[in-house]
């Protein structure tokens, strides 16, 4: 590249800092990122960009840090409409006495589409460009994501019992494979099998899922060892802990995403290392439901891939990955009894590249590298809570707030500009949220 023959770009973003995630810990000062045809084509100094690149559009963000889009690796987006309806109670009470009855009365295509749209708006505003979702009517979540131009992996739910989405495990599995066929060529929509949990899916469907996941080359996204009660009940039922049963059925592999994983023994951690499975850590939901503590520092030390998720807004109660990063870092230190456990760089990697790896799309997103999709987030550090600029990377985890996210691009498409949503109607989101509030109150649950 040179000034006589500059490389053509669609967009160049000039920032004070670029944190690419790869190489680990790098903080590039006075750097720019160039984008063409949805992908990153250059990461270089301001001077080099000015001398060797020519762009149709230039964005200058002199007080900002540019990072990869955050990957929220586990959630139930439509459940944002249940935010605050059943707080301060155990997981069993929360699910069986409130959430499941509400779902039985209210969940339909409209509920899922409008709830997912509300969640997506919240995620975009807080820097998320890719999320994994496990909920009914996943095709409606896909429609909402396409409207918003955000990336999603749909973990199509699978259960033994009937719901509004399917009548039995075979129908859930059939719908999951159909969903995969419908979106296999999409650049924004990915699919996975989403068996809810070991205690809600029996052996035969799990074996079928294992075989189909291998055949279709897609992940298996599952709540695993979420609570001590889950493990105790499994041992009482057949003498095996849930993860051992999953291993016996052939599910423990690089495809398996173990969500929550608050109850892992050392041998079970070693099994995850050996088989290459990932853990999706949801610290705020685990804390709120008193589900237990995931020993993240120990998992990371053993080289288990640990990603970060918010869970749904009905049990968090927000979808803010900046808050999730800070909570993950602080709780990990307390659990490990070590202030050096899970430093800021590791937490930021959990929220970006590790999430992409868990979803099986780390070759496409998760870090700022030439050839990857331009999923980018700009955070304005010129705020009282992030001054002075001693350590921009540390500030992102320990000090920054989601409200400091100013710009978000997904595959080079601006979906947040100067704090304003560009692909969603904010007024419509407010009105639909009020509509569902009234319907939920009317149930009396």
User: What's the pLDDT tens digit per position in 217-233?
Assistant: 999 999 999 999 999 99
- Domain of 174 in residue numbering reads as 70-359
Same domain, 38 and 128: no
Residue 1 has pLDDT above 50, yes or no: no
Which of 333, 359, 385 is the endpoint of a domain? 359
pLDDT for 389-420, tens place per residue? 999 999 999 999 999 999 999 999 999 999 99
Same domain, 59 and 79: no
Gap between the Cα atoms of 239 and 268, Å rounded? 16
Q: At what angle do helices 138-148 and 109-125 cross, to 10 degrees?
A: 40
* Alpha-carbon distances, residue 411 vs 49, 94, 134, 192, 210 (angstroms): 20, 38, 23, 21, 31
Same domain, 51 and 193: no
pTM above 0.85, yes or no: yes
Mean pLDDT of 153-173: 97
Residue 90 has pLDDT above 90, yes or no: no
- Sign of CA pseudo-dihedral 68, 73, 74, 77: positive
Q: Is position 365 within any domain? A: no
Same domain, 271 and 293: yes
Same domain, 262 and 193: yes
Same domain, 265 and 351: yes
Which residues are 256's β-sheet partners?
220
Which has more confidence, 401 or 91? 401
Same domain, 135 and 48: no
At 445 the pLDDT is: 87
pLDDT averaged over every residue in the chain: 96
Question: Taking the chain, what is the end-to-end CA distance rounded to the nearest angstrom?
Answer: 64
**Which 3 state secondary structure label does DSSP give 67?**
strand
The confidence band for 13, taking pLDDT boundaries of 50, 70 and 90, is very high
Dihedral of CA atoms 58, 63, 68, 74 in degrees, nearest 10, equals -130
At 3 the pLDDT is: 55
pLDDT for 34-62, tens place per residue? 999 999 999 999 999 999 999 999 999 99
Give the total number of structural domains in the chain.
2
- Sign of CA pseudo-dihedral 114, 116, 120, 126: positive
Q: Is position 90 within any domain? A: yes
Same domain, 159 and 135: yes
Same domain, 84 and 27: no
- CATH number of the domain enclosing 62: 2.30.40.10
Same domain, 310 and 339: yes
Task: Give the list of residues 6+ apart from residue 428 with CB closer than 8 angstroms, or none.
Answer: none
């Amino acid at each position: 590249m040179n000034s006589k023959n500059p490389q053509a770009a669609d967009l160049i973003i000039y920032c004070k800092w670029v944190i690419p995630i790869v190489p680990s810990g790098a903080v590039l000062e006075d750097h720019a990122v160039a984008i063409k045809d949805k992908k990153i084509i250059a990461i270089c100094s301001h001077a080099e960009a000015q001398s060797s690149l020519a762009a149709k559009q230039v964005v200058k963000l002199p007080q900002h840090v540019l990072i990869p889009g955050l990957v929220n690796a586990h959630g139930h987006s439509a459940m944002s409409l249940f935010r605050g309806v059943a707080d301060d109670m155990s997981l069993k009470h929360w699910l069986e006495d409130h959430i499941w009855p509400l779902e039985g009365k209210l969940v339909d295509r409209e509920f899922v589409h409008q709830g997912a749209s509300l969640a997506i708006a919240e995620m975009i505003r807080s820097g998320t460009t890719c999320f994994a979702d496990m909920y009914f009517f996943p095709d409606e979540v896909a429609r909402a994501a396409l409207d918003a131009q955000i990336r999603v992996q749909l973990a199509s739910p699978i259960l033994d019992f009937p719901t509004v989405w399917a009548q039995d495990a075979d129908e859930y599995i059939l719908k999951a494979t159909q969903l995969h066929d419908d979106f296999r060529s999409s650049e924004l929509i990915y699919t996975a099998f989403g068996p809810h949990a070991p205690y809600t899916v029996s052996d035969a469907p799990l074996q079928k899922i294992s075989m189909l996941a291998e055949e279709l080359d897609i992940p298996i996204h599952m709540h695993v060892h979420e609570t001590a009660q889950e493990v105790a009940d499994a041992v009482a039922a057949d003498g095996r802990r849930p993860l051992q049963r999953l291993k016996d059925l052939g599910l423990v592999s690089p495809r398996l995403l173990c969500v929550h994983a608050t109850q892992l023994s050392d041998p079970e951690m070693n099994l995850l290392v050996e088989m290459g499975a990932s853990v999706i850590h949801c610290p705020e939901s685990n804390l709120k439901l008193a589900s237990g503590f995931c020993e993240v520092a120990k998992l990371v030390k053993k080289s288990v891939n640990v990603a970060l998720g918010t869970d749904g807004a009905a049990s968090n109660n927000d979808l803010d990955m900046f808050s999730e990063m800070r909570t993950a870092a602080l709780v990990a230190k307390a659990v490990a009894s070590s202030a050096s456990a899970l430093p800021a760089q590791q937490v930021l990697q959990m929220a970006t590249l590790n999430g992409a790896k868990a979803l099986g799309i780390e070759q496409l997103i998760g870090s700022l590298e030439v050839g990857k999709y331009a999923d980018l987030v700009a955070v304005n550090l010129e705020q009282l809570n992030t001054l002075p600029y001693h350590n921009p990377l540390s500030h992102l985890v320990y000090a920054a707030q989601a409200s400091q996210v100013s710009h978000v691009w997904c595959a080079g498409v601006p979906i947040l500009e100067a704090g304003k949503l560009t692909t969603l109607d904010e007024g419509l989101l407010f009105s639909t949220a009020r509509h569902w509030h009234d319907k939920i109150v009317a149930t009396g649950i």
